[in-house]
Amino acid sequence: MNAQAEPLNLELMREAILTSTLNHGLRLLGDRWTVQVLMGAFMGIKRFDDFQAKLGIPRHTLSDRLKALVAMDMMRPRPYSQRPLRHAYHLTRKGLAMYDAVLMVWDWEHRFGEHDLPLPRRLKHKSCGHAFLPELTCGACGEQVTMHDLRFRLRPNRRLPHDGTAPARTPRVPVGEGAAGSLGLRLDRWALLIVSAVTLGCRYFDELSQVLQIGPSVLARRLSGMVEAGLLRAEPDPDDGRRRRYRLTPASRALFGYITCFAAWASEHHFNEPSSIAPVHRACGHPFAARAACSHCHQPLLPWEVEFEPPAEETT
């Protein structure tokens, strides 16, 4: 992105971010419990009690999140016991399509997380027989991609309005609940939107406030929390020492894979709408469709072709 040199069109950026499939998708699935339920499902957890025991989710929260995932056709309940009636939750085709995004979160958690989540220790690609890390690739040409290989076109999407009429699903459980530093507390919806705005070129408090429509006191709190969590760096502005300039860190730059895979899922599998933030892969010239691929053989990754070492069990 060469946004630094040109003046930002903040109004266009605001419209594009707020009408993006990323923003709308995060409203539905961006809370940490939902992400953890999905990660658990990809690790083979199916039964209510197992989700609860292995992920430590409060019962009412878990039942609320499972209901939402079923309503979104991402999971399907199937009874495995009649008396008492118990259900196992299976990922549907639409749920399975979240795999790329989930792989990217795993990878991020391994590198930057607090290691307090029950994540697989290692991933192995059965098709090529090698341990791998998920890498971000372009769906059109298959080449590996970082944010610097893309340029972004902003095209606000009037069909995904941001006035609150779209179905919202903000977490009913306070975001601050639970272990400090765990996924979702650091990676909640606002943190991901702030990282996206900085990626698109926002550097200053007033720019972020205008683009994301966040009031000053809330934004100040969020930014200082993100600086503390290592997701942003604040430095004095070289032109005006009283102003602070915000930059991405290695940890927030590494969120790009998750953000783009999640936005791609939301576009292709939920909203059936193009994203208002439309990246183009400079090298091949095609619209960028984010895909996760095997770092060894560079082929796309399918859930049933990946084997994982389960997380270390507590020795009790």
Angle at 256 between CA 213 and CA 19, to 5 degrees: 35
For residues 46 and 52, what is the distance between their CA atoms, to the nearest angstrom?
Answer: 11
77 vs 142, beta carbon nearer Zn ion: 142
Based on CB atoms, which residue is closest to Zn ion, 143 or 206?
Answer: 143
- What does the block give as tokens for 72? 């979104």
Residue (of 156, 165, 212, 167) closest to 189 by Cα position = 212
Question: From the list 124, 125, 162, 270, which residue makes contact with Zn ion (rule: CB under 5 A)?
Answer: 125
Query: Is residue 124 a contact point for Zn ion (CB under 5 A)?
Result: no
Instruction: Tell which one of 38, 75, 101, 294 touches Zn ion (CB under 5 A).
Output: 294
Alpha-carbon span 176 to 188, nearest angstrom:
10
Quick one: CA dihedral 252, 161, 28, 96, positive or negative?
negative
Report the nearest approach of Zn ion to the CB of residue 293 (Å): 8
Q: Which stretch binds Zn ion (CB under 5 A): 23-31, 110-118, 139-147, 218-226?
A: 139-147
3-state SS of 160-187 is: CCCCCCCCCCCCCCCCCCCCCCCCCCCC
Cβ-based nearer residue to Zn ion, 155 or 296: 296
Please tell me whether residue 55 binds Zn ion under the rule CB under 5 A: no
**Residue 138 touching Zn ion (CB under 5 A):** yes
Contact call for residue 140 and Zn ion (CB under 5 A): yes
Could you please report the per-residue DSSP string of 283-306? TT-SBP-EEEEETTT--B--GGGE
Q: Minimum distance from CB of 300 to Zn ion (Å)?
A: 10
Nearest distance, CB of residue 297 and Zn ion, angstroms: 3
Per-position x/- string for 63-82, each x denoting binding to Zn ion as judged by CB under 5 A, each - no binding: --------------------
Residue 272, phi-psi category: left (phi > 0), alpha (psi -120 to 50), beta (remainder): left
Binders in 257-286 for Zn ion, by CB under 5 A: 281, 284
CB of 298 to Zn ion, least distance (A): 7
78 in Cβ contact with 90 (< 8 Å): yes
Residues that bind Zn ion (CB under 5 A): 125, 128, 138, 140-141, 281, 284, 294, 296-297
